[in-house]
Amino acid sequence: MSPPVTRLAPSPTGALHLGNARTFLVNWLLARQRGWRVVLRIEDLDGPRVKPEAVAETLDVLAWLGLTWDGPVVYQSQRHAAYARALAALVAAGTAYPCVCSRKDIDRAATAPHAEDATPTYPGTCRGKYASAQAAEAATGRAPAWRVGVPDEPVAFDDAVAGPQRFDLRRHGGDFVIFRKQNLAAYQLAVVVDDAEAGVDEIVRGDDLLDSAARQIHLRRLLGLGEAVRWWHLPLVLGPDGRRLAKRHGDTRLTHYRDLGAPPERLCGLLGFWCGALERRRPSTPDELLERFDIARLPREPVTFTDADDAFCRA
């Protein structure tokens, strides 16, 4: 029997910071402890925002930290044909439709956006309106994106870390974009196609993507891709203000600490401490953490990045 497969899926648009690195480390530790194959997939679908140097730097810094992967690297920018086939299947099945709404249109139409959501729920303005992308463009002069209809029932799944989940996608974002108007696959469709093709059955990532899991389960059902996936959504690393770790909290990129001369063992030790594998901050290696890491001891609460963490990495 072939081993389970997982993936590390960095987006090379912003450089890898300590929060992303912690998720990747946990993913890698689970994989190596349990004998999963690790696919590295570069999520470089953002066209002009992705610079080739950023891709090379992402690979380089993951290796510097001591993470490893199996087989060739997959680049989403090279997989357009597979995404286009999936879109064609959804269009043929009548579940995808062209949409010419701008973000402004949607903001205006939304009566009760969820405070916690970054984007308001799409009200379905273009659903059933245009027979084809050409018809939509001819009628409006706008190049359409493609959306997929969401199910009438909530999508429920069990997360190995976050527990039982249930999302009513009609109220939580509504019909979502699967292809952008630049003829680029959108995140939700691309990951589903890639995960299925690589035989990924263990998905480990930050819990800001919990609702995306519901969308991805829905897409898998529509595309007949099976649902034999185990989800592991990890609590995030937050800044001292309680918001997700980001630039506003200072420079926590791995390359920043590397450029200051910090050895990877310090970063690895901090991440190991954050994962419950070390009792205190001290230098460590992925191999040592393999012996000590226990997913049951991973804190179920978000971790807060503090000045002491920053000082430890700089030392």
Binding site for ligand GLU (CB under 6 A): 9-11, 43, 191, 205, 209
| Of residues 112, 138, 217, 214, the one with CA closest to residue 169 | 214
Based on CB atoms, which residue is closest to ligand GLU, 75 or 292? 75
Which residues, 6+ apart, have CB-to-CB distance to 4 below 8 Å?
Answer: 34, 35, 36, 37, 201, 202
Angle (CA) 215-73-55 rounded to 5° is 85
- Least Å distance between CB 46 and ligand GLU? 10
- Least Å distance between CB 17 and ligand GLU? 11
In contact, 31 and 8? CB cutoff 8 Å: no
- Least Å distance between CB 217 and ligand GLU? 13
- Least Å distance between CB 213 and ligand GLU? 9
Can you tell me the distance from the alpha carbon of 106 to that of 126, in angstroms, rounded to the nearest whole number?
11
Based on CB atoms, which residue is closest to ligand GLU, 112 or 118? 118
- Least Å distance between CB 38 and ligand GLU? 13
Q: What sign for the dihedral angle of Cα 208, 163, 187, 60?
A: positive
Q: What share of the chain is helix, strand, coil (3-state, %, to 5)?
A: 40, 15, 40
Burial class (CB in 10 A: 0-12, 13-18, 19+), 101: buried
- Least Å distance between CB 210 and ligand GLU? 11
Based on CB atoms, which residue is closest to ligand GLU, 19 or 272? 19
Give kind and range of the element (H or E) at residue 89.
helix 80-92
Based on CB atoms, which residue is closest to ligand GLU, 9 or 289? 9
| Of residues 81, 85, 79, the one with CA closest to residue 43 | 79
Based on CB atoms, which residue is closest to ligand GLU, 208 or 259? 208
Based on CB atoms, which residue is closest to ligand GLU, 11 or 121? 11
Based on CB atoms, which residue is closest to ligand GLU, 6 or 95? 6
Based on CB atoms, which residue is closest to ligand GLU, 140 or 188? 188
Which residues, 6+ apart, have CB-to-CB distance to 307 below 8 Å?
Answer: none
Can you tell me the distance from the alpha carbon of 272 to that of 279, in angstroms, rounded to the nearest whole number?
9
Strands 155-159 and 163-167, bridge-based pairing: antiparallel
Give kind and range of the element (H or E) at residue 23.
helix 18-34
- Least Å distance between CB 9 and ligand GLU? 4
Phi, psi of 257 (to 5 degrees): -65, -40
Based on CB atoms, which residue is closest to ligand GLU, 207 or 309? 207
- Least Å distance between CB 128 and ligand GLU? 30
In contact, 268 and 285? CB cutoff 8 Å: yes
- Least Å distance between CB 196 and ligand GLU? 13
Can you tell me the distance from the alpha carbon of 165 to that of 295, in angstroms, rounded to the nearest whole number?
19
